[in-house]
C-alpha cells in the first residue's frame, strides 16, 4: 500500500460490546470482515462483559482484540474499548448488528467532509422477523440519502476519534439513552451528525414479542427524562410530556376503579380512552411506513400502546436490561485485560 493510500484510508477501529452473545457476535464480525476495506487499516476491539458462553473465544478466532471486563454498563464498555483503540475513526457497532459490505467505505467518505463529526443510520429489523419486530421498526424515522440529523443510535455509529475524545466519550453514568446524550453534545460543539442510508445494518436484537417490547422500553425509558432535559427542544418535548401524561392518566384510571361504587368507573373509562387516543396518534404516524391494511393498523396500535405504557411506567419503575449486555455496576470495576 502506498503512502497516499494510507492517508486516504484511515485506520478504522470497530468497538463491539458483548455479553453471552457469541453467535450474533460471530455474524457481526463476519459482516465487518466482508467489507471492501484494506485489512491492515481495520481493527476490531471486543469489550467482553464477563461472557460465559465463549464469546471471547469467537472474537479472538475472528482476529479481534478482546478486553476482559466485568460489571460495566454499555457506556463504560464502549469508553474503555475506545481508549485502547488505535483508529482515527471509531465505529461503534453492537454484537447483535450486521452491517453491509460498503459500510466502512461510506463512513470514511462521509467523515472526510468538513465539520462532520459522526455518521450512521437507523437500523432495520430482520427480514424474517416477527410481526412485532416489523411493526416496531415503523417507529424509526429513516432518512433518504445523506442528511444532518439530531440523533442516531450508538449501535451503528462512526465517530472521528478526536471528536469522541474531545467530548469525553459516552456518559458512563447513563444506563440508557447514552447515544442521545452523545449526539446532543456533539451538535452543541458545532459538529454535524449525518444520517447516510448507505450505512445499512440489521438489528437482530429488536424485541420479538409484545412482552419483550414492554420489558425493553421499560428499561430504555429509565434515563429518557434525564437526557431529554439536557437537550430540551420544542421538537423533543413530546418525548418528555407524553410519558408524564400517560402516567397521570393511568393513576386517574386506577383511582376510578377504586371508587367504582361511587361512579368512578366513568373517570376510568375516560382516562383509558385518552391513553388509547395518544397511542393512536403514534400508531397513525407508524402507518406511514406500513401497508394500509386493517391488520397492520391493529398491530401498529398494539405496539404503540405497549411502547407508551412502558415509557410511562419507566418514570416510576426501575428495570434491568432486557438483554444481558451489561451487568450492575460494582463498587470497584476490574481493569480491562487484553485476551
Higher-pLDDT residue of 190 and 318 is: 190
- List the domains of the chain with CATH numbers: 3-205+330-338 (3.90.550.10), 227-313 (no CATH)
Share of the chain above pLDDT 70, in %: 89
Angstrom distances, CA of residue 262 to CA of 243, 250, 266? 28, 19, 10
Over residues 175-190, the mean pLDDT reads 94
Give the DSSP letter of residue 20. Answer: S
**CB-count exposure of residue 162 (10 Å: 0-12, 13-18, 19+):** exposed
Dist CA 142 CA 159 (whole Å): 19
Q: pLDDT tens digits for 20-30?
A: 999 999 999 99
- Other CB atoms within a 10 A radius of the CB of residue 173 amount to 13
Q: pLDDT tens digits for 25-70?
A: 999 999 999 999 999 999 999 999 999 999 999 999 999 999 999 9
Q: pLDDT tens digits for 194-253?
A: 999 999 999 999 999 999 999 999 998 878 878 887 776 666 677 788 999 999 999 999
2, pLDDT greater than 60: no
Dist CA 142 CA 125 (whole Å): 13
pTM (2 d.p.): 0.87
Model confidence band, residue 333 (pLDDT cutoffs 50, 70, 90): very low
Whose CA is closest to 119, among 79, 163, 65? 163
318: cell is: 426501575
Over residues 299-310, the mean pLDDT reads 97
CA atoms within 13 A on the CB side of 256: 16
Q: pLDDT tens digits for 247-271?
A: 999 999 998 888 876 666 888 999 9
The span from the first CA to the last CA of the chain, in angstroms, equals: 29
Give the three-class secondary structure for 178. helix
Whose CA is closest to 22, among 61, 55, 71? 55
Q: Return the beta strands (E) in 212-317 as ranges.
A: none
Amino acid at each position: 500500500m502506498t503512502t497516499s493510500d494510507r492517508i486516504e484510508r484511515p485506520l478504522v477501529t470497530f468497538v463491539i460490546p458483548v455479553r453471552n452473545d457469541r453467535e450474533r457476535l460471530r455474524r457481526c464480525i463476519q459482516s465487518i470482515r466482508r467489507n471492501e476495506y484494506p485489512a491492515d487499516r481495520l481493527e476490531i476491539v471486543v469489550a467482553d462483559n464477563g461472557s460465559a458462553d465463549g464469546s471471547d473465544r469467537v472474537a479472538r478466532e475472528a482476529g479481534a482484540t478482546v478486553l476482559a471486563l466485568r460489571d460495566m454498563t454499555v457506556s463504560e464498555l464502549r469508553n474503555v474499548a475506545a481508549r485502547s483503540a488505535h483508529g482515527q475513526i471509531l465505529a461503534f457497532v453492537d454484537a447483535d448488528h450486521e452491517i453491509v459490505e460498503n459500510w466502512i467505505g461510506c463512513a470514511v467518505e462521509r467523515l472526510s467532509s468538513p465539520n462532520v463529526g459522526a455518521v450512521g443510520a437507523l437500523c432495520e429489523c430482520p427480514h424474517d422477523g416477527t410481526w412485532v419486530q416489523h411493526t416496531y421498526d415503523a417507529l424509526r424515522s429513516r432518512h433518504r440519502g445523506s442528511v444532518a440529523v439530531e440523533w442516531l443510535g450508538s449501535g451503528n455509529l462512526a465517530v472521528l476519534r478526536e471528536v469522541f475524545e474531545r467530548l469525553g466519550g459516552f456518559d458512563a453514568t447513563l444506563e440508557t439513552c447514552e447515544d442521545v446524550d452523545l449526539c446532543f453534545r456533539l451538535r452543541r460543539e458545532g459538529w454535524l451528525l449525518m444520517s447516510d442510508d448507505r450505512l445499512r445494518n440489521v438489528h437482530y436484537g429488536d424485541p420479538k414479542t409484545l412482552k419483550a417490547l414492554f420489558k425493553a422500553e421499560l428499561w430504555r425509558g429509565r434515563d429518557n427524562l434525564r437526557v431529554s432535559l439536557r437537550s430540551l427542544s420544542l421538537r423533543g418535548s413530546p418525548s418528555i410530556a407524553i410519558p408524564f401524561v400517560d402516567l397521570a392518566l393511568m393513576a386517574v384510571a386506577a383511582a376510578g376503579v377504586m371508587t367504582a361504587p361511587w361512579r368512578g368507573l366513568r373517570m376510568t373509562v375516560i382516562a383509558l380512552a385518552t391513553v388509547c387516543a395518544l397511542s393512536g396518534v403514534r400508531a397513525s404516524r407508524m402507518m406511514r411506513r406500513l401497508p394500509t391494511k386493517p391488520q397492520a393498523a391493529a398491530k401498529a396500535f398494539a405496539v404503540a400502546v405497549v411502547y407508551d405504557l412502558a415509557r410511562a411506567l419507566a418514570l416510576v419503575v426501575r428495570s434491568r436490561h432486557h438483554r444481558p449486555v451489561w451487568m450492575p455496576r460494582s463498587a470497584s470495576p476490574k481493569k480491562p485485560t487484553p485476551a
